[in-house]
Amino acid sequence: MIKHIIWKKNSLRVLDQRLLPRRVAYIDCRTAEQVARAIKDMVLRGAPLIGCSAAYGMALAARKRSTTALQAAARVLVASRPTAVNLAHAVDAMFRAAAGTPPQRLPAVLARAAEAYFRSDLDYNRRMGILGARLIRKGSRVITHCNAGALATSGIGTALGVIRESFRQGKIAHVYADETRPYLQGSRLTLWELMGEGIPCTLITDSMAAHLMKVSRIDAVIVGSDRIAANGDVCNKIGTYGLAIAARHHKVPFYAVAPTSTIDPATPDGSRIPIEERSAAEVLEISGIPIAPKGARARHFGFDVTPARLVTAIVTEKGVVRPVNASGIAKILAGMVR
């Protein structure tokens, strides 16, 4: 698998995912501010991966050997994208590592803590893959949305981790990947990952998913998440909610796959999740080429919220939440593996 973030002690080398699949190029971030800028500009993306990068951003800030510098870095990193709670989760983990550390030792301690954070996400991916594959029947034809794969995490991915492991077990017959307008994470990144591993896959535009469920057998929809509220509402890439409605209508199980670092117990329900709204230009243009009349207006919501009642199960590294409700979420956070 391609290296998408590389820790260099004095910098974080980041694969520029905006250029994939045409070109492989890296950007070097030497400060927490540069890491935050890379996250904001979508150089790297995906909730678990931006969490890991924020941890390394804190390690870069630690070179200033001051708590004030760490606090300033935390503010800019958490503000880089508002929806994924993994940023705050990672920054909190770095503050816990820094607590009680003499200033001179901050760089080494935080670099180690960031490495550990990255490695734990890798392990969670593996565990979610194994747990999630238990839900998948042999010969399954599945739909996924956005990119919840290796490029979005530190390991095999969340939703794509389940798909990879299920494929390894001989259970996946075909994957349909939503294109995912406007950043095209599905066509550019998910297809790139799946095709690279010989997993049979087909690209569909976002608006084709409901039709496909109607005219063809689909056995499961499998997606990742950027934040899961305490009641089990699942926030993910824009278009996920529509996919979940279509899945319920067609009696197709809808699975969300996310590490517990994506669960935000402080957010009671999905209505409280801040939805990133990005520049309208990203909708009005494709690769810099206008696709609407000059002066046209557009909205660009980055994410939407799928109500818990439409989610068949949430797969975490600690176990599977099913049915999806507040008590299931509380139990998984308490470490009750089911």
**Which residues carry out catalysis?**
226
User: Of 64-72, 128-136, 148-156, 214-222, which part binds ligand MRU (CB under 6 A)?
Assistant: 148-156
Establish if 228 lies at the interface with ligand MRU (CB under 6 A).
Answer: no
Q: Does 181 bind ligand MRU (CB under 6 A)?
A: no
Verify binding: residue 227, ligand MRU, rule CB under 6 A. no
* C-alpha closest to that of 35 among 21, 23, 17, 52: 52
Query: Using the rule CB under 6 A, is 224 a contact of ligand MRU?
Result: yes
The reply on whether position 146 binds ligand MRU by CB under 6 A is yes
Q: Using the rule CB under 6 A, which residue among 5, 36, 43, 47 binds ligand MRU? A: 47
Residue showing the smallest CB distance to ligand MRU in the complex: 224
Question: Minimum distance between the CB of residue 152 and ligand MRU, rounded to whole angstroms?
Answer: 4
Amino acid residing at 115: E
Q: How far is the CB of 71 from ligand MRU (least distance, A)?
A: 25
How far is it, in rounded angstroms, from Cα 86 to Cα 59?
16
Lay out the site mask for ligand MRU across 13-42 (x = CB under 6 A, - = otherwise): ------------------------------
Taking phi over 0 as left and psi of -120 to 50 as alpha, with beta for the rest, 197 belongs to alpha
CB of 104 to ligand MRU, least distance (A): 36
- How big is the site for ligand MRU, counted in residues (CB under 6 A)? 17
Looking at beta carbons only, is 114 or 258 nearer to ligand MRU? 258
- Measure the CA–CA gap between 49 and 161, rounded to whole angstroms: 14
Q: 277 in helix, strand or coil?
A: strand
What one-letter code names the amino acid at 74? A
First to last CA, the chain: 31
Q: Which residues contact 76 (CB under 8 A, 6 or more apart)?
A: 32, 33, 36
In the complex with ligand MRU, which residue's Cβ is closer, 107 or 302? 302
Cβ density class 156-172: b for 16+ within 10 Å, e for less: bbbbbbbbbbbbeeebb
Cα separation, 4 vs 205, in Å, equals: 26
**Would you tell me which residues interact with ligand MRU (CB under 6 A)?**
45-48, 146, 148, 152-153, 158, 183, 185, 224-226, 236-237, 302
